[in-house]
Amino acid sequence: MSIVADFRAQQQLEEESANNALYSPAAMASHEATVARMQLGAETLVKLFEQGKDTEAYELWDAGILEGHA
C-alpha cells in the first residue's frame, strides 16, 4: 500500500474508535455512573451542612467526595 492509503486506513480506524468512545453504551453508562456518584456526594455534603457539621463536610470535600475519592 502507498503511504496515502496507509494514512487513510489509519484515519478511518481512529475515527471509528473515537465514535465508539463517544457514543457506545459503555461510554454512556460510565458517564451516568460518574454523574450518580457526584450527585450522591453532593447530597452527603448538603446533609452534613444542614446538620451543622461544616468541618466534616469540608473534610470530605477536600478528600474528593465529588470525584469519588472519599
Gyration radius of the chain's alpha carbons: 21
Q: Where are the alpha helices (DSSP H) in the chain?
A: 3-23, 25-50, 54-63
pLDDT value at residue 27: 65
pLDDT value at residue 68: 67
Q: What is the mean pLDDT of residues 19-41?
A: 80
pLDDT band at 33 (very low <50, low <70, confident <90, very high): confident
For the cut 80, the answer to whether the pLDDT of residue 30 exceeds it is no
What are the residue ranges spanned by the domains of the chain? 3-67
Number of CB atoms found within 10 A of residue 3's CB: 7
Q: What is the mean pLDDT of residues 4-9?
A: 84
Q: Is the dihedral of CA 49, 54, 56, 57 positive or negative?
A: positive
pLDDT band at 70 (very low <50, low <70, confident <90, very high): low
